[in-house]
Amino acid sequence: MREFSDEELERYSRHIILEDIGIEGQEKIAQAKVLIIGAGGLGSPVALYLAAAGIGEIGIVDGDVVDLSNLQRQVIHSTKDIGVAKVQSAKEKMEAINPNIHITVYQKFLDASNILDIVKQYDFVIDGTDNFAAKFLINDACVLANIPYSHGGILRFGGQTMSIRPHESACYACVFDAPPPTNAVPTCSSAGILGAVAGMLGTIQATEALKYITGAGEPLFNKLLSFDAKSMQFRTINFKKNPKCRVCGEQGITQIKDYEAVTCEAKL
């Protein structure tokens, strides 16, 4: 176990006094390794809160640079960061919040050739990506590598999230099977997103990571939480692992492959 300094004991005091976390929980947080895929609308709040919480090792993946149109919701980046790699911009802010943690940046996009090697090094993964090809790729990789993760998706005024413990709880493909046909998909640039909605969902994902790591409460396993911010209605749908699931079922996948990419920039 790790000895906390006086500075850390003070910094994390509001966690430590929580009955469900305590000093043991904070030690688990300090020893945890979390990978955040995407430093955008969802990844920004996740990265800020996990850094502040004191996750000992955080990996952050994104191949993009900060663009002016990102700043309406990607709250980890500032106006002065336009043109800077998102992972660098994110790392700077996270280190400014908490110098006690270690951050590894991956300035790239993940695909079938690199995802497994990266995902394997972590205890928990956050899906903060913006397209179905990446979301299904992350699900495949986490199922194959047996790494729990949080799925997140947002659209306009809505969001949804589920947490996945591979082979024990339902995976993303148990619920959604495969990416929808490309002509049916509204992309973020064509569909829009209320910036604060990204924050709502991202903070739920950060909370799920911290719950999983500390064992506090019950993560959203076998549950899809969805909300509509216009009516501010939240709904939880329960389900079970599908034994015939294309990915995690009895005849599930044994290899990683790329899905057809429809990015936010795709013309639709």
Partner 1 sequence: MKVLINGETKEFQDNINLLELLKVEDVAQPDMVSVQLNDTFVTKDDYSSIVLKEGDTINFLYFMGGGA
52 binds partner 1 (CB under 8 A): no
Q: How many CA atoms lie within 13 A of 58 on its CB side?
A: 35
State in angstroms the smallest separation of the CB of 91 from Zn ion. Answer: 33
C-alpha triplet 156, 158, 160: angle, nearest 5°: 135
Q: Is 174 annotated as catalytic?
A: no
Query: Of 5, 114, 88, nearest to 54 (Cα)?
Result: 5
Work out which of 17, 196, 237, 266 binds partner 1, going by CB under 8 A: 237
155 binds partner 1 (CB under 8 A): yes
224 binds partner 1 (CB under 8 A): yes
Binder of residue 184, out of Zn ion, partner 1, none (CB less than 5 to 8 A by kind): partner 1
Q: How many CB atoms lie within 10 A of CB 64?
A: 16
Q: Give the whole-angstrom CA distance, residue 53 versus residue 153.
A: 23
Q: Give the whole-angstrom CA distance, residue 65 versus residue 87.
A: 8
> DSSP alpha helices (H): ranges in 32-131?
43-53, 86-97, 115-119
Count interface residues toward partner 1 (CB under 8 A). 44
Q: Give the whole-angstrom CA distance, residue 190 versus residue 24.
A: 46
245 binds Zn ion (CB under 5 A): yes
State in angstroms the smallest separation of the CB of 124 from partner 1. Answer: 17
Q: Which is nearer to partner 1, 238 or 254 (CB)?
A: 238
State in angstroms the smallest separation of the CB of 94 from partner 1. Answer: 18
Q: Map residues 117-136 to x or -, x wherever contact with partner 1 holds by CB under 8 A.
A: ----------xxxxxx--x-
Query: Of 53, 47, 153, 24, nearest to 94 (Cα)?
Result: 47
Binder of residue 43, out of partner 1, Zn ion, none (CB less than 5 to 8 A by kind): partner 1
Q: Which two tokens stand for residue 231?
A: 């009516």
Burial class from Cβ neighbours inside 10 Å (0-12, 13-18, 19+) for residue 60 reads buried
Query: Candidates 23-31, 55-63, 190-198, 248-256 — which segment interacts with Zn ion by CB under 5 A?
Result: 248-256
The string over 30-57, giving b where at least 16 C-beta atoms fall within 10 Å of a residue's C-beta and e elsewhere, is bebbbbbbbbbbbbbbbbbbbbbbbbbb
The answer to whether residues 108 and 114 touch, using CB atoms and an 8 Å cutoff, is yes
Work out which of 105, 141, 145, 171 binds Zn ion, going by CB under 5 A: 171
Q: Which is nearer to partner 1, 239 or 257 (CB)?
A: 239
Work out which of 58, 66, 126, 174 binds Zn ion, going by CB under 5 A: 174
206 binds partner 1 (CB under 8 A): no
Q: Among the options 171, 188, 245, 248, which is catalytic?
A: 188
54 binds partner 1 (CB under 8 A): no
The answer to whether residues 195 and 45 touch, using CB atoms and an 8 Å cutoff, is no
State in angstroms the smallest separation of the CB of 119 from Zn ion. Answer: 17
Q: Which active-site residues does the annotation give?
A: 188
Residues that bind partner 1 (CB under 8 A): 38, 40-43, 70, 74, 127-132, 135, 152-155, 158-160, 174-177, 180-181, 184-185, 187-188, 191, 193, 198, 224, 226, 235, 237-240, 242, 262, 264
